[in-house]
Structure 1
């Protein structure tokens, strides 16, 4: 099968959507398919061969945040058997829609709602109810990371009458790579963590596109906790100076370590070092939480906001805790309980590792995605064989 994946972002940019696209493409290539990823040129080679698939980075005519307009996308999609759009992708949706009007089957992964404010919210609403609606309704399958999120998403009304196209495909994790293991010597010291300290870790893009990650909520919770509980915040972006200033203002400079960007290997070591991973997101811009399955794969328990989609990843009181969004006191109390109970953390970590290996390994996700493509192609062939009225 010749498959095109389209994503507004892609590694080396650190973000969940691009990471999912990468692993989808890798698993499909491993299963013998010819895969090309189309994304925006952004400080990386314009063409790249990696892990058995090809990446083509197209020049953006204009860019608003993580939404590039790629005029060369339309001709590039000729000759594919399947087009898979990672959505939202404002600008990419219209061009993808134009391409699939040529009778190429379309599958969409709907990653999350986009929640903005001011004039940008008005523009997003207009795009969602016009081009976005048309693109979603043109897809043979719209894959949400959970059916729970699909029911709560503002995209659901746009699919009224097309509910049969809705399916579920969770994000995943490489359970061979992300696994329990030894913490490298000196890592705790480099993070400003003493031998008796407890570490809660947050992994997020610290840019405007990921404003909803709840960094301020974690800092507010930390302010209420004993001094031996510290935070390591992994990630970078234009909001990092603001968060660093907030930590300073709250008197937390000695208890919060901003680790910056981390490679995959460095991130794995940090998960292993942490006593828990915290995802205190505040809006439905968070639909799943890749960091949760990565952490659990390493045997590290999690604390996350009780949001649609996210709550399907965490088994409350079994491998982690769910807390109300934007509630610093509840988050602080939950972190305190987990930090103070070594056996609870170990048992949560063991159960989380088993669950992730059973449900979220990328190999299983790739197999399910291939089966979805096969069904879509079969349906497409049957529909094409039916004589059209008036033909």
Structure 2
């Protein structure tokens, strides 16, 4: 019988982890990968990455970089999805070569649709597969009209979810969904997103951050991210136009996005162009300093299973958060204690909450302090996430030299 690693051995056992992904864009997905790899290595483990390198050429303007982006544009939707599925064969061979060379203890994979290579490699080599799941992409892509071969996508998704020894959804909502797809509850461990504390050291004061951006004396409603239509920032621009002419409230977007031209045109039409500010694409390391200018940090409506990176960044910044009243947010925050929430489906709800918050500075400061405390107390940090993953991995592998 093979001897398993005991809990007390976790801290002294150097694990070899083969980290597989299929990410081709430089966005929050790459942030997650880089932070988890850095955290695992900081804990003393040996991590090798296997995946496309095209994200290094991404300009941060959205979409996929390099040949992947060109392929998406060139092929009809169904043909591109077949190409995605076919790429699994390439990824499988790449994984098998890496396994033979690196001899990992486990395979850790960031889930992508049409990507069963990790399951195949696990079954053919006996290496346990740990699967990080940020979204059920067959459903997500179907919702936004980007899925043509839904029947095939569903088959791949179920096969991949069920083929992993451990599955790490980012929310309990997503974990329950995985169970409904046939994943055993005993294989599921919820691991939400987090932050790296060192990214939030030596930040400027809110006043200094505002001054640098030319927003001194303003009350700043802030949003971090690549803005798309579903973020509904057009509602915030409408709200700004409804406030008094001499109002000093502005919307600051730390980022860019495809709807920026439409939002700026809307602001010009409504006479509030001076109240809408975009930083444009900002280097990841510079985002916290820019976001320190926020008085209210805005999390707009999103899918109910997500664990948005910016939510944890807002907490780390100690900002008053306004978020949609959704189960995934209740897993992290407590309404009226460390955040305020609005009803995303109710017209006027977000606007009413914003009116309340911008009129009560002391309340916002208190919410921000509480949000920061929640982050620290519950340890929403990448190192903590890495420790959870390592503990689960260690429970699946035998000690070297014990008959493996």
TM range (shorter): 0.7 to 0.9
- Bigger shift: residues 141-150 or 272-281: 141-150
Residue of structure 2 equivalent to 1:212 = 230
Is 1:261 the counterpart of 2:281 in the alignment?
yes
Q: Does the Cα contact within 8 Å between 1:225 and 1:336 map onto a contact in 2? A: no
Query: CA offsets per residue over residues 77-128 of structure 1, 9 Å max, x none?
Result: 12132222222x123x2322322221221111111241445763443x3244
Is 1:200 the counterpart of 2:221 in the alignment?
yes
- Bigger shift: residues 108-117 or 214-223: 214-223
| Aligned mate of 1:283, from 286, 299, 303 | 303
How far apart, in 1, do the equivalents of 2:225 and 2:345 lie? Answer: 16
Which consecutive unaligned segments of at least 5 residues does structure 1 have?
Answer: 47-56, 386-391
Q: Does the Cα contact within 8 Å between 2:40 and 2:383 map onto a contact in 1? A: no
Is 1:81 the counterpart of 2:105 in the alignment?
yes
How far apart, in 2, do the equivalents of 1:59 and 1:34 lie? Answer: 30
Is 1:139 the counterpart of 2:161 in the alignment?
no
Query: CA offsets per residue over residues 147-203 of structure 1, 9 Å max, x none?
Result: 23423x4x442125x2221111111111233258433876425545241x2111111
Q: Does the Cα contact within 8 Å between 2:55 and 2:66 map onto a contact in 1? A: no
Which structure has the higher relative contact order (CA within 8 Å, separation 6+)?
Answer: 2
Residue of structure 1 equivalent to 2:49 = 37
How far apart, in 2, do the equivalents of 1:184 and 1:146 lie? Answer: 31
Cα distance, 1:236–1:362 mapped onto 2, change above 3 Å = same
Residue of structure 1 equivalent to 2:195 = 173
Instruction: Give the drift of 1:29.
Output: 0.9
Is 1:337 the counterpart of 2:346 in the alignment?
no
Q: Report SS of the residue matched to 1:260.
A: coil
Cα distance, 1:94–1:213 mapped onto 2, change above 3 Å = same
Q: Does the Cα contact within 8 Å between 2:18 and 2:107 map onto a contact in 1? A: yes
Which consecutive unaligned segments of at least 5 residues does structure 2 have?
Answer: 1-14, 59-64, 74-79
Instruction: Give the drift of 1:130.
Output: 0.4
Residue of structure 2 equivalent to 1:389 = none
Instruction: Give the drift of 1:265.
Output: 3.7
Cα distance, 1:309–1:179 mapped onto 2, change above 3 Å = farther
Instruction: Give the drift of 1:346.
Output: 1.6
- Please, what is the CA RMSD of the aligned residues? 3.3
Query: CA offsets per residue over residues 300-325 of structure 1, 9 Å max, x none?
Result: 12111122323322221111112112
Q: Report SS of the residue matched to 1:218.
A: helix
Q: Does the Cα contact within 8 Å between 1:292 and 1:313 map onto a contact in 2? A: no
| TM-score, structure 1 normalization | 0.81
How far apart, in 2, do the equivalents of 1:159 and 1:346 lie? Answer: 44
Query: CA offsets per residue over residues 246-273 of structure 1, 9 Å max, x none?
Result: 3334443211101111123421112221
| Aligned mate of 2:205, from 165, 183, 187 | 183
Residue of structure 1 equivalent to 2:331 = 312
How far apart, in 2, do the equivalents of 1:141 and 1:38 lie? Answer: 19
Cα distance, 1:224–1:280 mapped onto 2, change above 3 Å = farther
Cα distance, 1:120–1:61 mapped onto 2, change above 3 Å = closer
Residue of structure 2 equivalent to 1:236 = 256
Cα distance, 1:205–1:61 mapped onto 2, change above 3 Å = closer
Of Structure 1 and Structure 2, the greater helix share is in 2
- Bigger shift: residues 181-190 or 351-360: 181-190
